[in-house]
C-alpha cells in the first residue's frame, strides 16, 4: 500500500482527567473507597477465566488499592513531561479532559487557579504543536452536582452550560476542537442499566431520562461555545459498535437494524443540528446470529475483549450519512506485554484508510491511551497505554508499539500496509 492519509490528518492519543490526573475529589472519590474491597474480592470470579490471569494480573487485581484512583499517573503535575514524550513520538494532536470538579468545586463558584492550570495545559500543547482536543465532561461530576442527582438532575443542562460558558470563554482563543460529552450512553448504561458505576441505580426509566438530559446538555453547551467562538468545532465522542451478521438471515437482519438504530444512531440523530464533527470512540464489534455477541473467541486482549481491529472500517462508513468530518477520538486495547498493539494499529489504520477510500471524511486518529491509567471500576490493571506507567514509581516507559506508531505519525501513515 502506498497512498497516505489526507493532508493535515491529526495523529495522537487521548486521556481523561480522572483516569490520569491524580488528586481529584469528585463523585467517584467516595465510591472508590466504599467499593474497593468488594471489587478486589470480585476480580477473580470476573476475570479469572482470562488466559494468563493468575501470573499477570491476579495479585494486583486482588488488592483494594488497585481500585482507588489516588495519585493516578500524577499527570496533573507531570503534563509537560508527558506532552514532551507525545511530541517526541511524532504526535500532532492530543485529547484530554477538563475536571469539572476542580473548576467548579462548589456550585457557581469557579476556581481561577484551576482555570489557569488548564490554560497552561492547552498552551503547553500549542507550544509543542500538538492540536488540543478538549473534552468538557468525561464522566466525573463535582460532588455538589452528584448530590443533586447528577445526570438526572433537571438542572444538569443548565449547570453544564454555565460551566461551558466559564471555561470555554477562558480557553476558547486557544482551542479549535471541543468535545462536550464523552460516550454519554456508556455512562448512563453503566450507571442506570448495569448499575456498576456510581451511583449504581438500576432503572430503565432513569436510563432513558438521563440520555434525554444529556442530549439537552450537549445542545446547550454547543450553543454557548458557538455563540462566543463561531469558528470552533464542537462535537461529542460517541461509542459506536459494528453490528455484523454471522449469517444473512431475516432474523439477523432485523436484529442488526434495530441494534444499529438504538445504539449507533438514536443519540447522534438527536443532536445532528448541533455538532460540527463526529468523534468516534470504537472498541468492539458485535456479531449477530439469532442473538447478540456471537463473536468467535479467537484472539482476546488482556480484558478479554475480542481482537478485531478491522471493525473500525464499518463503524466509520456507517457515519457517512451524517456528512460531517469524523475524528477518531478513541481506539485502542489493553495489552500489557505489547504483543498485539502493533498489529492492532496496522490493521486499524489500514481499515481507517479503506473507510476514507469508501467516502468517510476521517481527519484524525487518537489512540486510547497515551498512558496506562485508571480504568474505572477495573482500576489500574488493564494497560491501554502506549506508555507504560510504573505503579510504584510512576516512571514512564515507552512501549515498542509507540515507536512504531511514531513512524506512522511522521510519515502520515504512508507505510500502513
Active site residues: 183
Q: Which residue has the cell 492540536?
A: 131
CA distances from 307 to 320, 382, 407 (A): 25, 15, 23
Taking the complex as a whole, how short is the minimal distance between the CB of residue 16 and ligand FCB, in angstroms? Answer: 5
- Judged by CB under 6 A, the residue of 101, 168, 240, 281 near ligand FCB is 281
Residue 344 binds ligand FCB, judged by CB under 6 A: no
- Give the E-state strand segments of 250-303 in sequence order: 278-288
CB contact set of 294 (below 8 Å; sequence gap of 6+):
246, 287, 288
Q: How far apart are CA 361 and CA 398, in angstroms?
A: 31
Q: Which is nearer to ligand FCB, 100 or 229 (CB)?
A: 100
Does 82 interact with ligand FCB (rule: CB under 6 A)?
A: no
Written as one string, the DSSP assignment of 166-194 is HHHHHHGGG-SEEEEEE-HHHHHIIIIIS
**Are 39 and 33 spatial neighbours (Cβ–Cβ below 8 Å)?**
no
Residue number with CB closer to ligand FCB (180 or 252): 180
DSSP 8-class letter at 6:
P
Q: Which of 237, 201, 234 is nearest to 329 (CA)?
A: 237
Cβ distance to ligand FCB smaller for residue 19 or 240: 19
Confirm or reject binding of residue 302 to ligand FCB (CB under 6 A). no
Q: Which stretch binds ligand FCB (CB under 6 A): 147-155, 179-187, 213-221, 306-314?
A: 179-187
Binding mask 350-389 for ligand FCB (x = CB under 6 A): ------------------x------xx-------x-----
Q: Is 183 in the site for ligand FCB (CB under 6 A)?
A: yes
**Which stretches of 112-264 are assigned E, i.e. beta strand?**
131-137, 177-182, 233-245
Q: How far is the CB of 7 from ligand FCB (least distance, A)?
A: 29
CB of 240 to ligand FCB, least distance (A): 11
Reference 396, options 376, 372, 369; nearest CA is 372
Number of residues counted as binding ligand FCB (CB under 6 A): 12
Closer CB to ligand FCB, residue 240 or residue 252?
240
Residue 16 binding ligand FCB, by CB under 6 A: yes
Given the complex with ligand FCB, which of 24 and 252 has the nearer CB atom? 24
Q: What 8-state DSSP symbol labels residue 312? A: H
Nearer to ligand FCB, 252 or 301 (CB): 301
* Contact set for ligand FCB, span 107-146 (CB under 6 A): none
- Name the residue nearer to ligand FCB (CB basis): 252 or 311: 311
Q: Which is nearer to ligand FCB, 221 or 331 (CB)?
A: 331
Residues 6+ apart with CB under 8 A from 302: 50, 52, 56, 57, 333, 334, 335, 336, 382, 383
Q: x/- site string to ligand FCB, residues 143 to 172, per CB under 6 A?
A: ------------------------------
What residues from 184 to 243 belong to the interface with ligand FCB (CB under 6 A)?
186, 239
Burial category of 41 from C-beta neighbours within 10 Å (exposed 0-12, middle 13-18, buried 19 and up): exposed
Q: Which helix (H) or strand (E) holds 84?
A: helix 75-88
Buried b (16+ CB within 10 A) or exposed e, 324-349: bebbbbbbbbbbbebebbbebbbbbb
> Which residues of this chain interact with ligand FCB, rule CB under 6 A?
16, 19, 182-183, 186, 239, 281, 330, 368, 375-376, 384
Amino acid at each position: 500500500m502506498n497512498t497516505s492519509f489526507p493532508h493535515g490528518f491529526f495523529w495522537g492519543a487521548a486521556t481523561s482527567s480522572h483516569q490520569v490526573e491524580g488528586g481529584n475529589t469528585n463523585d467517584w472519590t467516595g465510591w472508590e473507597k466504599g467499593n474497593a474491597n468488594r471489587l478486589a474480592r470480585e476480580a477473580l470470579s470476573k476475570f479469572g477465566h482470562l488466559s494468563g490471569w493468575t501470573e499477570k494480573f491476579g495479585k494486583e487485581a486482588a488488592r483494594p488499592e488497585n481500585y482507588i484512583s489516588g495519585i493516578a499517573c500524577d499527570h496533573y503535575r507531570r503534563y509537560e513531561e508527558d506532552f514532551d514524550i507525545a511530541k517526541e513520538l511524532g504526535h500532532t494532536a492530543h485529547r484530554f479532559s477538563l475536571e469539572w470538579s476542580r473548576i467548579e468545586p462548589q456550585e457557581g463558584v469557579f476556581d481561577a487557579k484551576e482555570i489557569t492550570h488548564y490554560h497552561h495545559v492547552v498552551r503547553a500543547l500549542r507550544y509543542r504543536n500538538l492540536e488540543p482536543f478538549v473534552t468538557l465532561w468525561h464522566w466525573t461530576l463535582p460532588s455538589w452536582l452528584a448530590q443533586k442527582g447528577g445526570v438526572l438532575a433537571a438542572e444538569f443542562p443548565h449547570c453544564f452550560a454555565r460551566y461551558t460558558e466559564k471555561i470555554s470563554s477562558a480557553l476558547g482563543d486557544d482551542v479549535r476542537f471541543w468535545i462536550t460529552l464523552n460516550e454519554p450512553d456508556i455512562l448512563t448504561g453503566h450507571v442506570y442499566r448495569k448499575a456498576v458505576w456510581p451511583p449504581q441505580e438500576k432503572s430503565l426509566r432513569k436510563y432513558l431520562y438521563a440520555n434525554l438530559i444529556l442530549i439537552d446538555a450537549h445542545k446547550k453547551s454547543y450553543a454557548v461555545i458557538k455563540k462566543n467562538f463561531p469558528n470552533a468545532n464542537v462535537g461529542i465522542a460517541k461509542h459506536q459498535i459494528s453490528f455484523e451478521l454471522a449469517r444473512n438471515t431475516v432474523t439477523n437482519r432485523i436484529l442488526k437494524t434495530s441494534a444499529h438504530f438504538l445504539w449507533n444512531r438514536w443519540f447522534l440523530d438527536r443532536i445532528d443540528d448541533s455538532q460540527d464533527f463526529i468523534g468516534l470512540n470504537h472498541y468492539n464489534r458485535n456479531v449477530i446470529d439469532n442473538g447478540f455477541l456471537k463473536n468467535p473467541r479467537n484472539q482476546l486482549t488482556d480484558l478479554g475483549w475480542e481482537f478485531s481491529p478491522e471493525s473500525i472500517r464499518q463503524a466509520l462508513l456507517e457515519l457517512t450519512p451524517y456528512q460531517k468530518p469524523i475524528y477518531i477520538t478513541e481506539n485502542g486495547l489493553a495489552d500489557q506485554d505489547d504483543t498485539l498493539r502493533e498489529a492492532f494499529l496496522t490493521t486499524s489504520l489500514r481499515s481507517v484508510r479503506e473507510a476514507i477510500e469508501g467516502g468517510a471524511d476521517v481527519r484524525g486518529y487518537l489512540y486510547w491511551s497515551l498512558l496506562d491509567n485508571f480504568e474505572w471500576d477495573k482500576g489500574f490493571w488493564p494497560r491501554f497505554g502506549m506508555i507504560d506507567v510504573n505503579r510504584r514509581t510512576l516512571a514512564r516507559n515507552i512501549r515498542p508499539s509507540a515507536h512504531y506508531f511514531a513512524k506512522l505519525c511522521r510519515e502520515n501513515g504512508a507505510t500502513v500496509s
